[in-house]
Amino acid sequence: MTPGLGAAGEPGHAHDAEHQDLPSDPALRTKALESVLVGRGLVDRAALDELVDTYEHQIGPRNGARVVAHAWVDADYKRRLLENGTAAIAELGYGGTEGENMVVVENTPRVHNLIVCTLCSCYPWPVLGLPPVWYKSAAYRARSVIDPRGLLRELGLELPPDIEVRVWDSTAEVRYLVLPERPPGTEKLTESELAALVTRDAMVGIARVAPPAGSVPA
Amino acid sequence: MNGIHDMGGLQDMGPVRIEKDEPVFHAPWEGRVYAMYNAIDGGWPAGSGRYERELIPPAEYLRMSYYERWLHSLSELLVKNGLVTRAELASGTAAGGNDKGRKVLHAAQVRATIARGFSSRRDVPAVAQFHVGERVRARNLNPTGHTRLPRYVRGRAGTIASDHGVFVFNDSLVQGHGESPQHVYSVRFAARELWGSDAPAHDSVYVDLWDEHLEPA
């Protein structure tokens, strides 16, 4: 953090720089940028508040968890979800920005799917919200495609050698969601109880959905 | 561009650290940057911010946090497109108005705008050059501009797993050469084709590629 405005506060300095002065505090630079855009009438501050609120409070992995739980209890829905992810997800009211074209890939006892965006940070916002830092990190983007098994092992998921690992690199405008396996011991749970078990990490493919606490494995 | 952003297959980048109960934004400024980028009608082609981030010099790219890259790319786009000046960004004081008459997103429109999205699928006729099950090779292209063809698949053979349909070709669009709509396929590359015989026999990587990225194998 640079105390005060520093170099960024001197118009001449920043004006001449080929790249914007990087060391200065991004919070201050952001504040300056917002003031300029609002002052010029290019953005509406209330719209910014609404955008932040939407992704902090409305759109997140609970949406995806509902999709997964519904697929677990309704075989017909699951078939539609795997055939046309966009349409089936829209049935539950989710879609739009960064989920305009969805493909859902199913984990089974024979296949494990993992999602990444090696070039950037593409992620299915309508069902998972905005991506976490680890998903956008160099470490994840680099290693997921060359050593998915080693990566998952470090994250606590040991995959047997006979399971097929499929990594989905989101290089185009298609966004992916993993349909995790339904854990054992959940036969009597309601759909909403099932949804409560489903995690973001399982829908990206770095984890399995754990059985409910206190359940006895078969 | 063969930049640092094209990370697939790099090694020794450190452990993946998962933050427990991670907030959506780690500081208010991150949310503001995110929101400004999504609210602004800059008039630039979709995906331009992403290309601006690819242009960040590698050492800086690695040092910057994710939203610092967004802040940088948004600032660059605004200046390059003549919507604000560097002097304004430095002073924090607007020195003009909405001179180009850009559309302004209002709070009441936010939900509907998000729900509508902005699909780059195009309902135009385009002949698919490849078909499901066909063997293909990712072309050995090294364009200096934006490309969605990652280095780790160039020159490698794979199989068309599915045809996603017709989409805007981002490699063209971002360079200002138009949408050039064409088919996008999910191409399955065997892990051994990409990484050699030490890779597990049955594992694979699926990469979404456009017609122009591919040639018959």
Tens of pLDDT, residue by residue over B13-26, are: 999 999 999 999 99
- Residue-level pLDDT at A21: 47
pLDDT one-digit tens code per residue, B65-88? 999 999 999 999 999 999 999 999
Which among A35, A120, A137, A192 is annotated as catalytic?
Answer: A120
- Residue-level pLDDT at A2: 33
- Identify the closest residue of chain B to A38 by CA–CA distance: B94
Domain region containing A183: 60-204
pLDDT one-digit tens code per residue, B88-147? 999 999 999 999 999 999 999 999 999 999 999 999 999 999 999 999 999 999 999 999
Residue A215 lies in a domain: no
Is residue A192 annotated as a catalytic residue, yes or no?
no
- Identify the helix (H) or strand (E) that includes residue A19: none
Residues of B with CB below 8 A from A130's CB? 24, 34
Shared domain check, A123 and A52:
no
- CATH 1.10.472.20 in chain B: give the residue spans: 28-116
CATH 2.70.98.60 assigned to domain B135-216? The reply is no
Share of chain A above pLDDT 90, in %: 86
- CATH 2.30.30.50 in chain B: give the residue spans: 135-216
- Identify the helix (H) or strand (E) that includes residue A77: helix A75-83
The whole-angstrom distance between B165's CA and the closest CA on chain A is 10
Residues 167-186 (A) with a CB less than 8 A from some CB of B: 167-174
Mean pLDDT, all residues of chain A: 90
Shared domain check, A96 and A37:
no
Question: pTM, whole model, 2 decimals?
Answer: 0.93
| Positive/negative CA dihedral, B64, B66, B68, B73 | positive
A178 has pLDDT over 60? yes
Residue A211 lies in a domain: no
Q: Would you call A201 and B27 a contact, using CB atoms and an 8 Å cutoff?
A: no
pLDDT one-digit tens code per residue, B161-195? 999 999 999 999 999 999 999 999 999 999 999 99
Shared domain check, A50 and A119:
no
Shared domain check, A100 and A45:
no
Residue A150 lies in a domain: yes
Candidates B2, B6, B7, B29, partner chain A, best to mutate (most A CBs within 10 A): B7
Q: How confident is the model at residue A7 (pLDDT cuts 50, 70, 90)?
A: very low
Domain CATH number, residue A68: 3.90.330.10
Shared domain check, A82 and A35:
no
Share of chain B above pLDDT 90, in %: 99
- Residue-level pLDDT at A213: 81
Q: Would you call A9 and B90 a contact, using CB atoms and an 8 Å cutoff?
A: yes
Shared domain check, A150 and A54:
no
Determine contact: A124 vs chain B, CB below 8 A. no
Q: Across residues B53-57, what is the average pLDDT?
A: 97
Q: Would you call B89 and A44 a contact, using CB atoms and an 8 Å cutoff?
A: no
Q: How confident is the model at residue A216 (pLDDT cuts 50, 70, 90)?
A: low
ipTM above 0.95, yes or no: yes
pLDDT one-digit tens code per residue, A34-75? 999 999 999 999 999 999 999 999 999 999 999 999 999 999
Q: What angle do CA B56, A175, A178 make, to 5 degrees?
A: 120
Residue A148 lies in a domain: yes
The C-alpha atoms of residue B43 and residue B55 are separated, in whole angstroms, by 19
Q: Would you call A171 and B208 a contact, using CB atoms and an 8 Å cutoff?
A: yes
When divided into structural domains, chain A yields a total of 2
Is residue A24 annotated as a catalytic residue, yes or no?
no
What count of CB pairs under 8 Å joins A to B? 308
- Residue-level pLDDT at A217: 55
A12 has pLDDT over 50? no
Q: Across residues A64-91, what is the average pLDDT?
A: 98
Determine contact: A207 vs chain B, CB below 8 A. no
The whole-angstrom distance between A38's CA and the closest CA on chain B is 8
Shared domain check, A73 and A47:
no
- Write the DSSP assignment of A152-198 as a string of letters: HHHTT-PPPTTSEEEEEE--SS-EEEEEPPPPTT-TT--HHHHHHH-
Written in H, E and C, the secondary structure of chain B is CCCCCCCCCCCCCCCCCCCCCCCCCCCHHHHHHHHHHHHCCCCCCCCHHHHHHHCCCHHHHHHCCHHHHHHHHHHHHHHHCCCCCHHHHHHCCCCCCCCCCCCCCCHHHHHHHHHHCCCCECCCCCCCCCCCCCEEEECCCCCCCCCCCCHHHCCCEEEEEEEEEEECCHHHHHCCCCCCCEEEEEEEEEHHHHHCCCCCCCCEEEEEEEHHHEEEC
B196 has pLDDT over 60? yes
Shared domain check, A114 and A87:
yes
What CATH number is given for B28-116 in this structure? 1.10.472.20
pLDDT one-digit tens code per residue, A166-177? 999 999 999 999
